[in-house]
Structure 1
Amino acid sequence: MKGKNTQKNELLSWIVVLFLGLMIAFICKEYVFSPVVVNGASMSPTYEDEDVIIVSKISKIQRFDHIVFRAPDEEDNYIKRVIGLPGDTIEMKDDVLIVNGKKYDEPYVKRDSDSEKRVTENFTLEQLTGEKTVPDGYVFVMGDNRLKSYDSRHFGFIPIDDIYGESKVRIYPLNSIKIILNPYEQ
């Protein structure tokens, strides 16, 4: 009799451990972090098509972070770089980003080194959106591959509530595993 009870207890303990493991994994995926597959070339060279990233759902979003959000015009998610936060003014002049009057170098933007061709057209936030500043509850985003990116220059502001999370780690392809850092916080 003792052998049957021991086997039963062993089986029950395995079931409990597996159940708890699955519950922890589910909670983490739903509320803490989740894998996402990058689709398209709009963030090249930072991310390539079919890269797999880990997205933090609990990060505080800051300027120049990479975010995944619900696309404004389809069922997909997009990944883009946050350029403007609520209250920011944004301007692009002669391929130089100006946020709140401060010029930023953009080393992450895909440029053709053999050409002097501009990759980002001149604009002001007001010209694109009719707003002088990014409204409360919204962000302004652009892709790193400016010539191929469908972003806030085309569809406007992204509601902060539509942000799925911030990219933290690229885990695939294996030869490109990388912790993602904000270029202005390093």
Structure 2
Amino acid sequence: MKTWLRNNRGVLIFIVCLGLFRTAVADWNPVPTGSMRPTILEGDVVLVNRLAYDLKVPLTDFSLARLGEPQRGDIATFSSPKDGTRLIKRIVGLPGDTIEIRDNTLLVNGQPASYSNLDYVTEQPRPGVYVKATRVTEQVIGSRREVQFFSPAGPASSFGPVQVPNGEYFMMGDNRNNSEDSRYIGFVPRENLIGRAGRILVSADIKRDWSPRPERTFSRLNPE
């Protein structure tokens, strides 16, 4: 055993350093679900900046220092307050914000979002199930992104109003009628935030034939 450890010391050191790097500095996360469509697709692997918000002790949620403040519109990875599952959603509400959804219109602090660039698509949320979807550009309080809604919208078309507590955030998926987010799991405490997603590293069509999607490789999220 000692001989094996000595012969493979370089590889073991590299593995340990890579693990520490991924838990403290930057990480890459494959996305298996469509809750962030059309911004992030199933099969995208996103690059996550773990130093965007906090410097944490590797392998823990203990923060050593605050490095930046989460912003409305950030795409962030976090641990679900419901069951600890790692999720990726968009920060829609900051501490103190009042969030409401009224007939699929998002309101932040009473200000309704504006919607433009209407487009119609067909989505496949589950194998063999096809639904009509509407895609629009949503803009509210300086934050803009493309979102989509299924038709019919279903029970998620209205929510709140609720006020975001201090030190917590309201997260939503861009695929508004197919996302388990703060409407279901509750507010997300800051200590649950892992990092901010900035780019797509690689992408493959995992819903069909696993073919690569080179047009998405290293593309920025929210380039505007």
**Cα gap change, 1:35/1:86 in structure 2, threshold over 3 Å: closer, same or farther?**
same
Query: Cα RMSD (Å) of the superposition?
Result: 2.5
Q: 1:95 aligns with which of 94, 104, 111?
A: 104
For 1:181, the aligned partner's letter is N
For 1:161, the aligned partner's letter is E
Q: Provide the C-alpha distance between the structure 2 equivalents of 1:28 and 1:99, rounded to a whole number of angstroms.
A: 36
TM-score of the pair, normalised by structure 2: 0.62
Q: Answer with 1 or 2: which has the greater Rg.
A: 1
Contact preservation (8 Å) 2:149, 2:177 = no
Q: 2:77 aligns with which of 59, 68, 89?
A: 68
- Aligned-pair identity in percent equals 32
For 1:137, the aligned partner's letter is G
Q: 1:143 aligns with which of 173, 185, 188?
A: 173
Unaligned runs of 5+ in 2: 1-8, 53-67, 115-137, 139-144, 204-212
Q: Tell me the secondary structure at the aligned position of residue 108 of structure 1.
A: strand
**Which residue pairs with 1:84 in the alignment?**
93
For 2:198, the aligned partner's letter is K
1:28-50 superposed Cα distances (whole Å, 9 cap, x missing partner)? 32222111111211111111122
Q: Tell me the secondary structure at the aligned position of residue 55 of structure 1.
A: strand
Q: Tell me the secondary structure at the aligned position of residue 198 of structure 2.
A: strand
Q: Tell me the secondary structure at the aligned position of residue 179 of structure 1.
A: coil
Count of residue pairs brought into register by the alignment: 159
Q: What is the CA-CA distance between 1:70 and the residue it aligns to?
A: 0.9
1:66-125 superposed Cα distances (whole Å, 9 cap, x missing partner)? 11111233343111111101010111223221112222232521145xx6x547512223
- Which protein has the bigger strand share? 2
Unaligned runs of 5+ in 1: 1-14, 127-132
Q: How does 1:34-183 map to 2 (within 5 A)?
A: 34-59=27-52, 60=68, 61-105=70-114, 106=138, 107-111=145-149, 117-118=152-153, 120-126=156-162, 133-173=163-203, 174-175=213-214, 176-177=216-217, 178-181=219-222
Q: Provide the C-alpha distance between the structure 1 equivalents of 2:18 and 2:184, rounded to a whole number of angstroms.
A: 37
Q: Tell me the secondary structure at the aligned position of residue 177 of structure 2.
A: helix
Q: Tell me the secondary structure at the aligned position of residue 54 of structure 1.
A: strand
- Which protein has the bigger helix share? 1
